[in-house]
Chain A
Amino acid sequence: MANVALTGLKKSYGPVDVIKGVDIAIEDGEFVVFVGPSGCGKSTLLRMIAGLEDISGGTLSIGGRVVNDVPPKDRRIAMVFQSYAIFPHMTVRENVAFGLTIAKMPKKEKEAKVAEAARILQMEHLLDRRPSQLSGGQRQRVAIGRAIVREPAVFLFDEPLSNLDAALRVDMRMELAKLHQDLKATMIYVTHDQVEAMTLADKIVVLNAGVVQQVGTPLELYHSPANLFVAGFIGSPKMNLLPVTVEGVTSSSVTVGSPDLGVAMLPFRPGAVVVGDQVTLGVRPHMLGLGAGTRLPGAVQLVERLGNETIAMLRLKSGQEITAALGGDQPIRVGDRIDPGFAPTAAALFDTAGIALTRA
């Protein structure tokens, strides 16, 4: 068991800065998910924690010990790779026991540990097979088994489920959540699937271009994104972002206006925002409902019926398109004019630099 602390962590390949000073504190036993678009440096950061990439600047400590120059095997970590990285010529049993074989553990002890891992992962019946005789999900289970037997303080996962089909992914996701509950180890998990992030994480770290955008619980990120990037990245369908002009400010409200919206008073502390600023109003599709709050009238362009909800794409007066996720099965058709509304307290407001204003 160990906490992990990243302080001013940097990584550059020659002149290219990939990780630009990252500070994250991970508590003992926490499940932390790194998300971000492709190429933002998630894997690099994880591999730096694993010791597979050297650190260009800053400090990394695991369990209170600075490990910048400690080789991977002495960091008390285990890693599960996207490509499984199990040894093709070994049986499942030999694969799971690999780290123990390397450490020359006595046979009896080794077998007990392998059996325990196989029980946890429900793969006792697979132990004598070779990787070529396993499905993708089973292979990933073997890789997780190999990590478990080492009893690491920190588990590292790099997109472990992205090679699996959708249904299996959901199953494995639940198993990973259960594994975390059972083992109570610190886990760091990289993904670009936000459903995985939202469901698994105690804490999400959103990265973009090697910079941490926001760290918080899944719901903090959903309800109070720190900036436009996080607002657009977290949540599906995406948050609607509308350009609006500031028409008035008080100490606890900002009044904004636009042709689509008319005029609306929103409960935010203005900060540095002044009258005349071009700011951005964020409204999640799921915050929009028929017949309530501040209206956004428009013409229906497209309807998707999912049974439990109806997703409608609207074209507003200005020509901008927004998405509304309306509860239940709504009797609307393409071409209809509807005016869904939102509660001002549920909206988000971003200043000219794209930073969120705090709610009053």
Chain B
Amino acid sequence: MAGPAIFLIALFVIVPFIFAIGLSFTNQRLVSPNPAQFVGVDNYQQLLGVATLTLDPVRDAAGALVRDEAGAATYPALRGYTRKNPDYPGLDGMREWFSFTLGEARTFVLAKDVVFMTAILNTVVFVLIVAPAQGGLALLLALLINQKLRGINLFRAIYFMPVVVSIVVVSLLWRFIYDGNSGLLNNLLAFLSFGTFRPVDWLGTKETALGAIIVMSIWQAVGFHMVIWLSGLQTISPTLYEASAIEGASKWQTFRYVTWPGLRNTAVLILIVITMQAFGLFSQIDVMTRGGPLDSTQTIVFQAVQRGYGKQDISGGSTISVILFAIVLSISLIQRWLTREKR
């Protein structure tokens, strides 16, 4: 009976996955007359290569600091270290990611692929904000909606609606909401502040673009997780609530002693599902910002697609996929370990 299912899973999941791992060790391109060559872990080094370089400030002959117009210390040009410098072979081809100063010396963190590093960072920020916020909000909605009230099904349907609409359509709609000139959000804020609010191009500004996508993503899938919480709530026996009412538990105590412990397994499930989905952030980016402005909304999956298909660099895209797989796998293992049943 399981035969066809196993075959399909093998065909569409396992085989491509093994392919991806294999391709990540080659220099295969999407369409290329040359045969692919085995390149070892080159692709991984190209993506993940990170190094630090600590430089002392430039001093003049008398040993005084050379300062620029603003009065800040100056440092030797990085280019001298990262362009074919035989003393620093490991830094070849790297670029500055960020830097910080300890005392006088300045430490530069260099990366082979600064854009990919930004993509990893953005994705992690996205996950760290979306997972707790979406899970918590969904639980709150589920608790509010898990009541015997007339018309409660209408509310359930309304909250669930964004889930059934395609994410692409939702993203297009939110582009209008976030529009810099006459977007709904700007109009609303102008109305609430009696016209004193200066319109913001939410998706076109480096500081607000990722935040705007986070808010929209939380809103879009919150209904889905609400439904999972609801199903968890239904598994808690009503007599337990009656028993706690007789014992005199307040609303908060009932939640703490009856509801929350009863939702343990649901919570683990939701946390893992949201984390996975959040790591896969792509469609919203593709429709709303395409990684911009200034790479402020680059993400891991968007990078994988852009390289694999946009730049026809199939092996690079595969490598990113394998890296993502490793990240997600280790995070779910850690989550499972942290939330294991303690005996």
List the interface of chain A (C-beta within 8 A of B).
50-52, 71-74, 77-79, 81, 83, 85-90, 98-99, 102-103, 146, 150
Contact of A103 among B239, B242, B248, B261 (CB under 8 A): B248
Interface pair B261/A89, CB less than 8 Å apart: yes
Is the Cβ of A85 less than 8 Å from the Cβ of B243?
A: yes
Return chain A residues, CB-CB under 8 Å to B234. Answer: none
Q: Using A83-B239, A99-B247 as known contacts, list a sample of 14 further A-B pairs with CB atoms less than 8 Å apart, ordered by residue number in A.
A: A51-B246, A73-B245, A85-B243, A87-B257, A87-B261, A89-B264, A90-B261, A99-B248, A102-B244, A102-B248, A102-B250, A102-B253, A102-B257, A150-B247
- The listed residue (B237, B242, B261) touching A52 by CB distance below 8 A is B242
The 10 sampled A-B contact pairs (Cβ below 8 Å) are A52-B245, A52-B246, A74-B248, A78-B246, A85-B240, A87-B240, A88-B261, A98-B244, A102-B250, A102-B253
B residues whose Cβ falls under 8 Å from a Cβ of A: 237, 239-240, 242-250, 253, 257-258, 261-262, 264
Which residue of chain B has its CB nearest to the CB of A143? B243
Closest Cβ of chain A to B100, distance in Å, is 46
Chain A residue, CB-CB nearest to B341: A89
Residues of A within 8 A of B237 (CB): 83, 85
Tell me whether A72 and B257 are in contact (CB under 8 A).
no
State the Cβ distance, B264 to closest chain A Cβ, in Å: 7
Cα(A78)–Cα(B245), bound, Å: 11
* A102, B249: Cβ atoms closer than 8 Å: yes
> Could you say which residues of chain B place their CB within 8 Å of the CB of A87?
240, 243, 257-258, 261
Q: A85 near B242 (CB under 8 angstroms)?
A: yes
- Checking A52, A83, A88, A102 against B247 with a beta-carbon cut-off of 8 angstroms, the contacting residue is A102
A145 to B209, CA, bound (A): 58
Docked complex Cα distance between A103 and B246 (Å): 12
Asked if B239 contacts A98 (CB within 8 A), the reply is no
**Cβ-closest chain A residue relative to B245:** A72
Which residue of A has the minimal Cβ distance to B261?
A89
**Distance in angstroms between the alpha carbons of A88 and B235 in the assembled complex:** 13
Which chain A positions have C-beta within 8 A of B242? 52, 79, 81, 85
User: What CA separation (Å) do A249 and B171 show in the bound complex?
Assistant: 93
Q: A81 — which chain B residues lie within 8 A by C-beta?
A: 239, 242-243
Min distance, Cβ A13 to any Cβ of chain B, angstroms: 13
Contacts of A52 in B (CB 8 A): 242, 245-246
Q: Chain A residues near B250 (CB, 8 Å)?
A: 102
DSSP class of B's interface residues: helix, strand, loop or mixed? helix
Chain B residue at minimum C-beta to C-beta distance from A98: B247
Q: Chain A residues near B264 (CB, 8 Å)?
A: 89
In the bound assembly, the distance between CA atoms of A84 and B149 in angstroms comes to 28
Residues of the B chain whose Cβ atoms lie less than 8 Å from the Cβ of A51: 245-246
Flag if A85 contacts B239 (CB, 8 Å): yes
Given the known A-B contacts A83-B239, A85-B239, A85-B240, are A98 and B257 also in contact in the complex, defined by CB atoms under 8 Å?
Answer: yes
Cβ–Cβ < 8 Å partners of B244 in chain A: 98, 102
CA distance A283 to B246 in the complex (A): 45
Q: For the complex, what is the distance from the CA of A50 to the CA of B246, rounded to whole Å?
A: 8
The 5 A-B pairs of least Cβ separation, nearest first, read A73-B248, A99-B247, A89-B261, A85-B243, A85-B239
Select from chain B the residue with minimum beta-carbon distance to A150. Answer: B247
Q: Of B239, B246, B257, B262, which contacts A73 at CB under 8 A?
A: B246
Inter-chain CA distance A51–B247, complex, in Å, is 12
A84 to B155, CA, bound (A): 34
Interface centre among A50, A51, A52 (most CB of B within 10 A): A52
Indicate if the CB atoms of A77 and B261 lie closer than 8 Å: no
Q: How far is the CA of A161 from the CA of B86 in the complex (A)?
A: 86
Q: In the assembly, what is the distance between CA of A86 and CA of B257, in Å?
A: 11
State how many angstroms separate the Cβ of B153 from the closest Cβ of chain A. Answer: 19
CB distance from A50 to the nearest CB of B (A): 6
- Give complex CA distance A90, B247 in Å: 15
Picked from B240, B246, B262, the residue with its CB within 8 Å of the CB of A79 is B246
C-alpha gap A69/B190 in the complex (Å) = 49
Alpha-carbon distance A58/B240, docked complex (angstroms):
28
A79 CA to B239 CA, complexed, in Å: 11
Shortest beta-carbon distance from A264 to chain B in Å? 53
Please, which residues of chain A bring their CB within 8 A of the CB of B261? 87-90
User: What residues of chain A lie closer than 8 Å to B243, measured between beta carbons?
Assistant: 79, 81, 85-87, 146
Closest to B243 in A: A85
Q: Considering only CB atoms, which chain A residue lies closest to B240 in the complex?
A: A85
Contacting pair B246 A77 (CB below 8 A): yes
A81 to B243, CA, bound (A): 8
Residues of chain B with a CB closer than 8 A to A88's CB: 261
Q: Which residues of A contact B258 (CB under 8 A)?
A: 87
Residue of A nearest to B236 (CB): A88
Least Cβ–Cβ distance between B9 and chain A, in angstroms: 35
A287 to chain B, nearest CB (A): 43
